[in-house]
Structure formats: C-alpha cells, structure tokens
Amino acid sequence: MQHNINSNMKITILGGGSFGTALACQIAENENNQVTLLVRNEEISEEINREHINSKYFPNKRLPHNLKASTDLSILGNAELIFLAVPTKSIPQIIDTLKKYLKPESLVVNVAKGLFDEGKTIVEYLREVLEFENIITLKGASFSVEMINSAPTLVTLGFENKAQLIKVETAFSKTNIYLDFTTDIRGVELLSALKNIYAILLGHIDAKYNAANTRFLFLTKAFSEIKIILKAMGGKPETMDLSCGIGDISLTALNDLSRNRTLGLLIGKGFYNPSFQDNSVVLEGIKTLKLIDKAISEDLRRKLPLLQEMISLLVKEGEYTLNLDFDELFKKNYTTVLTYGTFDLLHYGHLEILRRAKQLGDRLIVGLSTDKFNEGKDKVCIIKYEKRKQLLEALPYVDLVIPENTWDQKAEDVQTHHVDVFVMGSDWEGKFDHLKEYCEVRYFPRTRGISTSALKKVLDKDQLF
C-alpha cells in the first residue's frame, strides 16, 4: 500500500541539547529529510552551520552537512514534524511560541521526560494549554552519546492514529533509529518518569552489595512494582514490554552513563547528605515520588515496598541511606479476596468494586448468584447465569467464578478457598461481620450515579438478548 507522505519532509527539533542534537543527527542521515535544529544561542547556531559541530555537547563529533541550525522561531510555522526536546521545566516558557507558529497539520512529538502537577503527563499538559491535539510521544532506551554515533537504537512511539505512525516511520527510515509502538500514550509518558526512581534504587544496590544475584533480585521486584504503579495511574501493563518500559528501565538502572544510577551509587557509598536536595535529579525524583504517593491507594502501597523505601529516603527528612530489610521487602503473603453478587447488566459500578477488590490481594474469587437462587429471592435477571459468568471470567480482575446457591454458603466458601479478605458493598454494612471469625471483612462504598436497578428501568429487556 502506498502512503502519500512528503519525501522531502521539513522537520524541526526544538532544543539543541545533547539528546536534541543526537536525534537531529540521526534524522538528518536520511537525506530526504530537511532537518533544522532550533537553538537559543546564536553562537551555537553559527558553529553548527559553519563548522558542523556542537562543541558544548559533542566537541569531537562532526555533524551531518545537511543538518541546519537556527534561532529563528518562525521556522516552526513551516515544519511538518516537530520534536520537542527541551528540558521539562522549560516547556511552560515556550507555550506562547508554539501557539503562535503551530499549524493545524503539524505533528508534535514529545521526547522530554517528566510529569506535571496532579500526575499530568507532558502530552496531556501540552494538549490542554495549546488546545492542539496532534501531539504524541517518543521514549525509549537511548543514550544520546550512543545515538549520535549511530548505534542501532530502539525507541517507543506512543501515537493515536496511523497517519502519525507513518509520518514518524518515514522520518526515521534510512537511520539507525528503530520503532516499536503503542497507542498507550499515557503509559509511555509515565514510564519515562517512573524508571528514574528505580534507577536510583538499583544504583544504591550495586554500590552496597556489588552482587549480580542481588542486582537482579531488585530489578525483578522493580519491574513488578512499576507495572502496578503504571496500571494504577492509567497506563497499560503491556506497555512495560516495549523499549520505553523494560528497555529504558534496564538502560537507566544498570548503565553508569545514567545520572539517576550515579546518584544511587553515591547514596550506596554513603555520600548522600542534605546538600543533595538542590540536585536536579533529586528534585525531579522527589516530585515524581510525591505524585505517585498521592495517586495510589493505601491498599496498593502495601504491594510497593521499594517505592516506600525511596519515599523515606528522598521525601522524608533525616534519611540519608536506604535501610533495607530483605525479609520484610520480599515477604510474600499470598492474599485471596472473595466477593459476591448478581452482576446483571455488568456496568461501571461493578467494574469499580471488582477493581478495588483485586487491589486488596493476589487472587479474586467472585461468588455469582445462580438463576435458581435468584428465583428463590424473587429476583429476575436479564442475563442468564452462564453469560454473566463468561462476562466476569473475561475481566482481568477476576481469577475464579463460583456459583452462589444459598445465603448460608459463604462461611464454607471462605474456608474452602482459604480466603483472607471478604468484600461487599456498603449497602451490606454489618451483615457479614460474622465472617470476621475466619477472615478480614471490608465494605466498599457503591459507585454513585449508576445501578443495575436504574438501568433496568430505562432498558427494554426484550431487546437486549
């Protein structure tokens, strides 16, 4: 299939730092690309255009002759593809410029890393303040010093539609940059911030223990925790399998070119002190940790002991090293959660209680009322038991569905399935307290604004199945 993509694409990289320069060099390897590196300093611009070097970042590297540099912001108005490669803290300062020159058909690709207040990603922030939707993200395992030397590099493109994917693929053709991709833009953006926290931790582990077994013990645990946080903050767990996930986390945590790992090494060797609080890596780490801590529930925190250690170190005052109790960190209490319901006309309220129940443990069992049991309660279900069972089994939260045949079976089910936590909606408050003899009993508030009874009133059941 032929795609109508301009063979002489006008591309601007906004930001002439190490990564922006390295990215521009690789894209300029494709001679069909007209690449301009937009920099702030006129001397740097002249040096790149005249001598083909950026002496501030790569004094010994000759840049491609077809790579141009400029300080003229108006070139953004001619760009079909714009890579945003400025420090995250500088992004608010360029909003007015972007608003002035962005044209509707321009595609903006964010390569900056970090989070804004309330856990908002850079792409989400840009779309909001620019009132411009054609913004996507590019992240992955990529050190600029290796990229500029043409080391084959895999990065992840988070995109929305195929036209965006094709445009970026075209720009990267005939270069040493390769793409994997996902439509989980939020997940790609989140991982670029989360991986830095755990890179500090892994640096500390290597400095303190210098043992491969211990390093990968913690790396394995780090992957597990990051996936939990990613899902809790709105990303997709499978995004971890891409370059922006496993690739970038491993690169940042295990390679000494990483600033975050280097900070961890210093902590592990006992050099961390209050003066580090002004370090940009520490400041970004503190900001990210606070955002994560605010975004996740208390139940999830119990599953994130490494994160809690990093919060104690960087956020709370008076801690200058990690105090790791291996027995506590890796104590695994396998927890089984049990809930019951009819789950007729499966809706958002059902999903919420199942999601929250799953967060309490490792295995979620759902006792589903049978058609015969419902008849005994003078309750008519629109959806038959087998179909309701299939719907529940298709949900990622649910591990096992068992039939609920009587009111009195719950104590036996709790004991048979070794249940640790029993969960019901708050409308059953106190009704199952007798089960506290066998397990913890929790009552969740119902989701407001939706109920099966209300749905049945507005739907014609004869038209459903």
pLDDT tens column, 187-216: 999 999 999 999 999 999 999 999 999 999
Out of 167, 195, 303, 389, which one is annotated catalytic? 195
440 has which bridge partners?
A: 421
Mean pLDDT of 115-120: 89
Distance of CA 428 to the CA centre of its chain: 36
The better pLDDT of the pair 447, 341 is held by: 341
Is 5 part of a structural domain of the chain?
Answer: no
Q: Is the pTM of this model over 0.75?
A: yes
Is 4 part of a structural domain of the chain?
Answer: no
Tell me the pairing of strands 153-158 and 135-140: antiparallel
34 has which bridge partners?
A: 10
- pLDDT at position 2 is 38
Mean pLDDT of 102-106: 92
**Is 195 a residue of the active site?**
yes
Is 1 part of a structural domain of the chain?
Answer: no
Residue in the structure block whose two tokens are 């900070």:
263
Is 432 part of a structural domain of the chain?
Answer: yes
Torsion, Cα of 89, 95, 101, 105 (10° steps): 90
Same domain, 131 and 96: yes
Same domain, 135 and 200: no
- pLDDT at position 3 is 42
CB half-sphere exposure, 44, CA atoms < 13 A: 21
Choose the final residue of a domain: 303, 329, 355. 329
Same domain, 350 and 453: yes
Same domain, 42 and 146: yes
Same domain, 16 and 161: yes
Residues of the chain with pLDDT > 90, as a percent, come to 75
Residue in the structure block whose two tokens are 């590019």:
138
- What's the Rg (C-alpha) of the chain? 27
Torsion, Cα of 269, 271, 277, 279 (10° steps): -80
Sheet strands side by side (includes 363-369): 400-404, 363-369, 336-341, 421-425, 440-444
Is 29 part of a structural domain of the chain?
Answer: yes
Same domain, 119 and 176: yes
CA 230 – CA 187 distance, rounded (Å): 7
Residue 6 has pLDDT above 80, yes or no: no
Same domain, 31 and 177: yes
Residue 4 has pLDDT above 90, yes or no: no
Neighbours of 188 (CB within 10 A): 32
Same domain, 52 and 169: yes
CA 266 – CA 262 distance, rounded (Å): 6
Q: In total, how many domains does the chain have?
A: 3
Residue in the structure block whose two tokens are 């946080």:
229
Is 2 part of a structural domain of the chain?
Answer: no
CA 357 – CA 425 distance, rounded (Å): 10
Same domain, 354 and 222: no
Residue 1 has pLDDT above 70, yes or no: no
**Mean pLDDT, the chain, whole residue set:** 91
- pLDDT at position 7 is 64
List pLDDT tens digits, range 253-271. 999 999 999 999 998 888 8
- pLDDT at position 260 is 92
CA 193 – CA 50 distance, rounded (Å): 37
239 Cβ contact partners less than 8 Å away, ≥ 6 residues apart: 156, 182, 184, 187, 188, 191, 230, 245
- In 359-458 the beta strands, taken as DSSP E runs, fall at 363-369, 400-404, 421-425, 440-444
Residue in the structure block whose two tokens are 């300093």:
41
Is 3 part of a structural domain of the chain?
Answer: no
Q: What range defines the domain where residue 123 resides?
A: 10-183
The better pLDDT of the pair 225, 322 is held by: 225
List pLDDT tens digits, range 41-93. 999 999 999 999 999 999 999 999 999 999 999 999 999 999 999 999 999 99
CA 292 – CA 314 distance, rounded (Å): 13
What spatial distance separates the first Cα and last Cα of the chain, rounded to whole Å? Answer: 41
CA 223 – CA 2 distance, rounded (Å): 40
Choose the final residue of a domain: 127, 161, 183. 183
Q: What are phi and psi of 312, to 5 degrees?
A: -60, -40
Same domain, 161 and 199: no
CA 171 – CA 68 distance, rounded (Å): 16
Choose the final residue of a domain: 272, 294, 329. 329
Same domain, 317 and 395: no
Same domain, 425 and 396: yes
